Amino acid sequence: MVIIVIILQIVLARAEAVNGSIATSGEIVRLDPRLDQLFPQWAVLEKLAEGFTWVEGPVWNREGGYLLFSDIPNNSVFKWKEGEGVSLYLRPSGYAGSAPFKGKEPGSNGLLYDSFGMLVLCEHGDRRVSRLEKNGTKTTLADRYEGKRLNSPNDAVYKSNGDLYFTDPPFGLPETFNDPAKELPFQGVYRLSADGKLTLLTRDIKAPNGIVFSPDETILYVTDVDPKRSAWLAFDVKDDGTITNGRVFYDATPFTQRRKGAPDGLKVDKNGNLFAAGPGGVYVFSPDGTHLGTIVTGVPTSNVGWGNDGSVLYITASDSIYRIKLNTKGKGF
């Protein structure tokens, strides 16, 4: 317990050191004139905090005006607020067991809020999707499919009707794909309906990761981090909420060959442009699949999330938190 406290104190101290003076970082590569409509000419990437281990799941709390994000190896959710810096928000975040966790990623991964403003967590160690209640307890939303434990839920998105879609790769298991505790022989993308029914949408993606809807919810984008088919995928959403016509939206292998990292979390703006975390930065695509440009962080980049009035993009990358102020706004703002 003493060791855990010391580690957290070091993380917070390093984060506060950066928060005392926000620094600019990285660069913006502009490949298509349409990017200029999204990025002001003066746009800069700001580093807000550093010193974590592997950060993920940035989500903005509109009521409180702060950012939450996961540090998966530290089994924690941290909070960042302008003028206050970083503080510990929740621990444990993804593994509540008493025995030491054997793997490297026990904590929560993707974070999001439901329509009631409750925090929903994709938990690696406890292999479930949960909701944090106001009294600090957690309610399990999904942890089994047909009686078998999920692998380690990774990321999730709500549809406007209240259905929750999420991905379930094995990255939170100590031995990932070959872990002896893995109960499902596949990696799935699921829909948890508002009435609590869990439906498997596809089992044909080797390593499903990030997930997001187009603004009109007719397309579901899913990331595949399989080294043999590293790509951003697209599916048509049928009227009954299931998906069909899976296809490669954009091949990520040229990026993975040049930079460290893999395609990961992603979000869309109000016009359907994709902001996709991946090798060395955030890749911006138009709805027609054109690569408009890249926010270069120089390190493996895990996820993005809209904040403030919707025009600020927060980025989790390796051990650091970034933001960039844009001309566009995220879906839902």
Residues 4-45 have pLDDT tens digits of: 443 444 344 344 434 444 666 678 999 999 999 999 999 999
The tally of domains found in the chain comes to 1
Which residues pair with residue 168 across a beta bridge?
188
- Domain containing residue 109: 2-325
Residues 160-195 have pLDDT tens digits of: 999 999 999 999 999 999 999 999 999 999 999 999
330 occurs within a structural domain: no
273 occurs within a structural domain: yes
331 occurs within a structural domain: no
Spatial distance between the Cα atoms of 271 and 194, rounded to a whole number of angstroms: 26
262 occurs within a structural domain: yes
In 3D space, the residue among 77, 173, 165, 74 whose CA is nearest the CA of residue 114 turns out to be: 165
77 occurs within a structural domain: yes
User: Tell me, what CATH number does 70's domain have?
Assistant: 2.120.10.30
Q: Is 247 exposed, middle or buried (0-12, 13-18, 19+ CB in 10 A)?
A: exposed
pLDDT tops 90 at residue 47: yes
Residues 130-157 have pLDDT tens digits of: 999 999 999 999 999 999 999 999 999 9
The reported pLDDT for the residue numbered 21 is 46
Q: What angle do CA 278, 212, 206 make, to 5 degrees?
A: 60
* DSSP state at residue 195: T
333 occurs within a structural domain: no
133 occurs within a structural domain: yes
332 occurs within a structural domain: no
